[in-house]
Amino acid sequence: MLQLILGGARSGKSRLAEKLATDTGLPVTYIATSQPLDGEMNARIAQHRTRRPAEWALVEEPLALARVLRENAAPGQCLLVDCLTLWLTNLLMLDAPEQLNAEREALLDSLAALPGEIIFVSNETGMGVVPLGELTRRYVDEAGWLHQALAERCQRVVLTVAGLPLTLKGTAL
């Protein structure tokens, strides 16, 4: 089963995804896409680490997400990817559109063949004002297109607001 958990900053989306992963009763591998580039991001990473169960495996991969999913997906296994928008940011910051396109297509193309449970977490960025800067507008556009393509492929899509899940597709929580 593929699930997409969307929400704004501090909406409770990661906490919900962690609960869903735990509730599967399966071994969980947490796939972290963030990079500790500054003190603030280090603090966020530390907060996520303290919340995760010690028995969860961890894979840190900022770019080659499709490869990591193929290597770790297995029947009777749950993968939790947190988060897609950080992954997208990492690719955008390379300023290599061909690599962004290749990685996005590799991800989307790999989904149908992946066994086990996979939960994606991502920031819903398209609900605010249109950003002024070109890179920020591109980020919002790319995230929106990625979310649409993933939502089409996922069996469950949930929007999280103020810690409350709203099921958009699939069985309600």
110 carries a ligand binding annotation: no
Select which of 15, 44, 48, 67 is catalytic.
48
122 carries a ligand binding annotation: no
Q: Is 48 a catalytic residue?
A: yes
14 carries a ligand binding annotation: yes
3-state DSSP helix/strand/coil % of the chain, to nearest 5: 45, 25, 30
51 carries a ligand binding annotation: yes
32 carries a ligand binding annotation: yes
60 carries a ligand binding annotation: yes
- How far out from the chain centre does Cα 74 lie? 18
The dihedral of CA 28, 100, 158, 34: what is its sign?
positive
Residue of 117, 137, 90, 105 whose CA lies nearest to 27? 117
102 carries a ligand binding annotation: no
14 vs 54: CA distance, rounded Å? 17
Annotated binding site for GTP: 7-14, 32-34, 49-52, 60, 82
Detail the residues annotated as belonging to a binding site: 7-14, 32-34, 49-52, 60, 82
Active site residues: 48
